[in-house]
Amino acid sequence: MFKEDQKNLALSSNNKLPQIRNYQLLKKIGEGSYGKIYLSEDLKTSSLVTLKIIDKTFLELLGKTEEAFIEQFMLIHLKHKNIINLHSCFQTKQKLIFEIEYFKNGNFENYLKQIQNKNGILSYETSKFYLAEILNILLYFQKNKIAHLDLKPGNFLLDERLHLKLIDFATCKIIGKEYDLKTKKFIKQNNIIIDNYLGTPEYVSPEILNKNVINFKSCDIWSFGIIMYELFHGYTPFKGKNEKETIQNIKNGNFKIDEKLPFEVKDLINKLLNYNQEERLGVNDIKDIMKHKFFEGINFENLFEEKVPENLKKCSSDSLFVQKRKISFMEELYSTDESDFDNHSVNFSCGNDFCVVKYEDNNIEFYDNYFVL
């Protein structure tokens, strides 16, 4: 179908709820552990949005059904200036679809790589600023007993003013609770045992690797420490030749901090990368990290309104360029393209309440029995 026809069709529809035919997929901008991310045009408003499309069959085969619901739950409920905003989510027979706001500056990981390609790292002040923005999110999480468990530069986007926006909530946990797939509710559960879960090895905390019964309350602080280390060195502290080696390095606990760094940087990194979970700085109150000498002069409450220090050049990578190669809707939305799994019978049921629309004033509406196909 030509775009104009599709657009006319979209405009003529009275259905206020999201429908796949109202979007034109423009470019794949990400592919992660379970979803594919597309820059898309909302034909009704002619605006650019992001669609995260997850194949239900694939999801079930990977055993990640729960993660999709947790991601939905978090995207609906989290509300913070440094967290991405969900517009809506809906489902077809085969796909779960999240419509999220689009940011053309890409993710923080690529941004750091571009700086490194020019043999640079972020300046002291810029690093301090971004770390302070992440701390604001961690404070919000601590208040709400949420653990993200996959904090890393690839899970932050840069908005148009180059402030950070956290994405990717599939691995989130509510501390002391476990998600119950049957009732789609979080139920009290104090001893959560890690079985197969692992975040991204370089950023994952030792207590998760040791697969103990853990309470998750300071795992994100460890990852935050790794990010801080990375911003000041240009690489992460435990990276090995492969995942196995990285994991071994974390377990062995050897890492070297550049001696030439200022004292407050070295001191804070050491206090964050503390192997004793209970003694890690911030475990009881994130404000203990905020009060560290390194953050002297930061006004945490106004950070988002402030200008990011140093006039950094905006990203110019190819991923920011909207190519006009269209992807067929039919192809992407109605088929299971993971052909290996063709013979797998779909018995996935994600319930009938997956459709959610978030309005401008942050009003949220749930729609039962809404499938677009």
Ligand X SMILES: Nc1ncnc2c1ncn2[C@@H]1O[C@H](COP(=O)(O)OP(=O)(O)O)[C@@H](O)[C@H]1O
Residues that bind Mg ion (CB under 5 A): 32, 155, 168
Return the number of the residue (11 or 322) whose C-beta is nearest ligand X: 322
Smallest distance, Mg ion to C-beta of residue 165, A: 13
Cβ-proximal residue to Mg ion, closest one = 168
Longest dimension (CA), the chain: 65
Contact criterion met (CB below 8 Å) for 82 and 29:
no
Which residues of the chain form contacts with ligand X (CB under 6 A)?
29-30, 32-35, 37, 50, 52, 84, 100-103, 106-107, 154-155, 157, 167-168, 170
- Distance, in Å, from the CA atom of 151 to the CA atom of 226, rounded to the nearest integer, reads 9
Smallest distance, ligand X to C-beta of residue 148, A: 11
Smallest distance, ligand X to C-beta of residue 298, A: 26
Contact criterion met (CB below 8 Å) for 38 and 342:
no
Return the number of the residue (7 or 28) whose C-beta is nearest Mg ion: 28
- Distance, in Å, from the CA atom of 99 to the CA atom of 75, rounded to the nearest integer, reads 10
Query: From ligand X, Mg ion, none, which one binds at residue 102 (CB under 5 to 8 Å depending on kind)?
Result: ligand X
Return the number of the residue (165 or 271) whose C-beta is nearest Mg ion: 165
Smallest distance, ligand X to C-beta of residue 32, A: 2
CA distances for 117 relative to 144, 175, 217, 239, angstroms: 38, 39, 36, 19
**Percent of the chain that is helix, strand, coil (3-state, to 5):** 35, 20, 45
Return the number of the residue (154 or 201) whose C-beta is nearest ligand X: 154
Q: Which long-range contacts (CB under 8 A, 24 or more apart) does 363-369 make?
A: 364/76, 367/17
Query: From ligand X, Mg ion, none, which one binds at residue 107 (CB under 5 to 8 Å depending on kind)?
Result: ligand X
Smallest distance, ligand X to C-beta of residue 156, A: 8
Contact criterion met (CB below 8 Å) for 218 and 260:
no
Query: From Mg ion, ligand X, none, which one binds at residue 199 (CB under 5 to 8 Å depending on kind)?
Result: none
Return the number of the residue (179 or 294) whose C-beta is nearest ligand X: 179
